[in-house]
Every structure is written in structure tokens, then in C-alpha cells.
């Protein structure tokens, strides 16, 4: 079985990428196993430059990457449930109906306008080069819940760790590269409707970005709740419990953004197959940004 490689796409201000983390997916004794390892350093240069007047007015931020230096692993696609017979022609006409991006956040606390994102990770299920994005984020406030994800202020309070104002423009550029022309983008997150979507939309607004009209949001938790468990062994619908149910063994740090993205990508694949849930179903059941009742950012 082909390995699925997940490369960390770190963007930092005025610095070199130091390394990438690789997650290998292997199949052993009827179980999917995710292993993590590190590769040698890259020489890719990712640089942010600011343009605009220096009198306090907003500046534009641009990403400059030397394409000749970029060395990225090829990420294999994660195949989900195929089109049903009566949808085949429509799917073929639409090519791929949507660009599906699985994402996860780590934050300074629970869903509150005063809390901040400290890690962002995403992957395009179609795979390919540069199909993952991952970075730590300096929240510029105290992290109160390091015991959950292991991220401390000393890890993010560094010159080379970007602020959210630096990251959102890079996310927008990354999505632009991933999106297939004419198709919507669907953001997938587990329990996203009550957590991840709120943080993401809040920070998008804070950074002055409108949500594109062709963006959709899909919470995989309700889909997981439809899962029939004849054995009665499935105790809940958390990512941890679903990994147990689908025999996905994870040797990556728990509650880190890219680890959760990798797990959810495989879980979503298994959910779509077990429930015959197609990409067209995904689009039909996804939410518009206006359907998500998030609150504006505030100070803690």
C-alpha cells in the first residue's frame, strides 16, 4: 500500500524553513498506522515582505518563495466514497465537485472571543505537492491550556513564529493555489460548528478578510453520529474513539493540529465509504459562513 506523506508547510517571517515533519501511513495486521519521523533540513526560503506607507495605514503582505529551492514531498490523495451511478455524469461534468480541505486548530482556551489560535494545520484531500499547511502562531497572550496540546508560550513567543495577521494572508494564498477553478472550497473539521469554524472566521474578520462566497464549512461530527455500531463498543464520536473503531493506530502527538488533521482525513474516508456519502452530499450538507454564529474578537 502506498505511503501517505504529510509534510509540514511552515511559513515564517524573514527566515529559512528549518525542517519538515513527515507522517507515514502503513497498513499492518488489518490496521492503519500513522508514524511520525523527521527529515533533514530544507533550504527553502519563505519570506514575507510588507508594502505600504509607514504612517499607520494598513500594509499589504506578500509571500515570496523561491520555486527553484522548494523541495516538498508528494502527498498521495485520500480516496473517499465514489459517485453513485446516477451522479457519475454530473461528477464528470464538474470534474471534482469541490476542493476538500481538512483542518484543525489548537488554541489558548475554549471557544471564547478572548482566546486565540496558536497552531493551524490543513491538508487538501486530493494530495499533491504543497498540499499541506502547518504553522505555530504567536497569540501574544498567555496560553492557559498547555496541558492539553503541549504548546507553551516559550514555543510561540519567538521572532520566527508568525502572528495571526501574518498567517491569514498565507492561508488565503495557499487556498488559492489548491482550489480548482470554478469549484467551491469545503473546509472540514471535527466539531467545527462549535469550535474551529468560530476561531477561523473570527480571525479572518479580525485580519480584514471577507469570507469568499464559494467557501463552505462541514462539521464531520454529525456525520460520525450517523455511524451504525452493531458491536456497541463505540463509546463516543471523538477522533480518538473513531480511530479505535476504524483500526487507525496513531503514533503522533495527541492534540496537535497536523496529527488531528491526518487522523480526521482517514476517518472521513472511512465514514464516506461506510455511509456511501459522496462529495455531492458533502456540498449539499455544508454550511455557509453566514450559518455559523461566531462572535467578534475581544480582549481576554
Distance CA 188, CA 224 (A): 13
Q: Tell me the CA distances in angstroms from 215 to 36, 262, 282, one per residue in order.
A: 31, 21, 13
Q: Contact at 8 Å (CB) between 264 and 190? A: yes
Please count the residues of the chain: 300
Predicted pLDDT of residue 262: 94
pLDDT tens column, 58-109: 333 333 333 333 344 567 788 777 655 554 544 444 457 899 999 999 999 9
* pLDDT greater than 90 at residue 172: yes
Q: How far apart are CA 188 and CA 123, in angstroms?
A: 10
Report the catalytic residues: 255
What's 287's DSSP letter?
Answer: B
Is 24 a residue whose pLDDT tops 80? no
Report pLDDT digits (tens) over 215-239.
999 999 999 999 988 777 788 999 9
Return the C-alpha cell found at 205: 474578520
Element (H, E) at 155: helix 153-156
Which pLDDT band, with edges at 50, 70 and 90, does 249 fall under?
Answer: confident
The pLDDT score that the predictor gives to residue 117 is: 98
Residue 155: CB atoms within 10 Å:
15
- 10-24, 251-265, 271-285, range with greatest mean pLDDT: 271-285
Which carries the bigger pLDDT value, residue 161 or residue 2? 161
Output phi, psi for 182, to 5 deg: 85, -5
**Rg of the chain's alpha carbons, rounded to an integer?**
19
pLDDT of residue 20: 35
Mean pLDDT of 284-296: 96
Q: What is the pTM of this model?
A: 0.75
Structural contact between residues 118 and 135, judged by C-beta atoms closer than 8 angstroms: no
Dihedral (CA of 251, 255, 258, 264) sign: positive
Per DSSP, the chain holds a count of helices (H) and strands (E) of: 9, 11
Those residues whose C-beta lies under 8 Å from the C-beta of residue 85, and which sit 6 or more positions away, are none
d(CA 53, CA 68): 31
CB-CB contact of 183 with 99 (8 Å): yes
Amino acid at each position: 500500500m502506498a505511503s501517505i506523506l504529510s509534510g509540514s508547510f511552515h511559513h515564517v517571517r524573514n527566515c529559512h524553513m528549518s525542517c519538515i515533519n513527515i507522517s507515514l501511513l502503513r497498513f499492518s495486521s488489518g490496521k492503519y498506522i500513522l508514524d511520525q519521523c523527521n527529515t533533514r533540513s530544507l533550504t527553502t526560503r519563505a519570506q514575507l515582505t510588507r508594502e505600504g506607507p509607514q504612517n499607520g495605514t494598513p500594509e499589504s503582505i506578500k509571500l515570496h518563495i523561491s520555486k527553484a529551492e522548494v523541495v516538498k514531498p508528494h502527498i498521495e490523495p485520500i480516496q473517499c466514497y465514489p459517485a453513485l451511478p446516477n451522479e457519475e455524469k454530473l461528477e464528470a461534468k464538474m470534474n471534482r465537485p469541490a476542493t476538500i480541505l481538512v483542518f484543525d486548530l489548537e488554541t489558548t482556551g475554549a471557544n471564547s472571543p478572548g482566546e486565540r489560535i496558536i497552531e493551524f494545520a490543513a491538508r487538501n484531500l486530493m494530495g499533491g505537492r504543497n498540499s499541506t499547511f502547518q504553522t505555530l502562531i504567536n497569540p501574544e497572550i498567555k496560553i492557559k491550556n498547555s496541558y492539553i496540546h503541549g504548546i507553551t508560550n516559550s514555543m510561540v513567543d519567538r521572532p520566527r513564529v508568525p502572528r495571526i495577521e501574518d498567517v491569514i494572508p498565507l492561508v488565503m494564498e495557499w487556498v488559492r493555489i489548491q482550489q480548482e477553478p470554478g469549484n467551491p472550497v469545503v473546509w472540514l473539521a471535527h466539531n467545527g460548528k462549535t469550535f474551529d469554524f468560530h476561531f477561523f472566521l473570527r480571525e479572518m474578520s479580525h485580519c480584514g478578510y471577507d469570507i469568499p462566497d464559494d467557501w463552505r464549512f462541514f462539521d464531520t461530527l454529525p456525520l460520525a453520529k450517523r455511524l451504525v455500531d452493531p458491536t456497541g463498543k463505540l463509546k463516543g464520536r471523538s477522533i480518538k474513539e473513531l480511530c479505535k473503531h476504524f483500526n487507525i493506530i496513531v503514533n503522533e502527538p495527541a492534540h496537535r493540529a497536523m496529527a488531528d488533521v491526518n487522523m480526521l482525513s482517514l476517518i472521513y474516508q472511512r465514514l464516506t465509504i461506510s455511509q456511501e456519502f459522496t462529495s455531492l452530499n458533502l456540498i449539499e450538507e455544508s454550511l455557509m459562513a453566514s450559518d455559523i454564529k461566531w462572535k467578534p474578537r475581544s480582549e481576554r
